[in-house]
Amino acid sequence: MTLYFVRHQHAPDQCPAKDPQMGSMLLQHLSSEQANRFGIHVHGDAVLDGAHTLVLILEADSQAKVEEYLQPFKQVGLVEVFPASPCERVIERRGC
């Protein structure tokens, strides 16, 4: 399994949190149960206050699975997916 760093950003006027139904749906989508259906493990999530930016640390077999899982977020804004590594692995391989 590979680690991925994800950044989702949307315009303030398209903030899904403003719509209780959309916000609830996206929150449910981030649940461990739903992520597991896509073969995704969510290590963490955070919203940058006031920046309309969500960051995620995910683990999956492939970037294609991550991209598929993130489709609901692509409907309201930009989604960027970056392969990543835990700090321990970077030190073991002696470089980023």
* Calculated CA dihedral for residues 78, 82, 84, 90, nearest 10 degrees: -120
SS3 32: helix
- In tens, the pLDDT along 2-18 reads 999 999 999 999 999 99
Query: Where do the structural domains in the chain lie, given as residue ranges?
Result: 2-93
One-letter amino acid of 1: M
- Architecture of the domain spanning 2-93: 2-Layer Sandwich (3.30)
Report the chain's terminal Cα–Cα distance, integer Å.
18
- In whole angstroms, give the CA distance from residue 11 to residue 51: 9
Reported as a single tens digit per residue, the pLDDT across 15-73 is 999 999 999 999 999 999 999 999 999 999 999 999 999 999 999 999 999 999 999 99
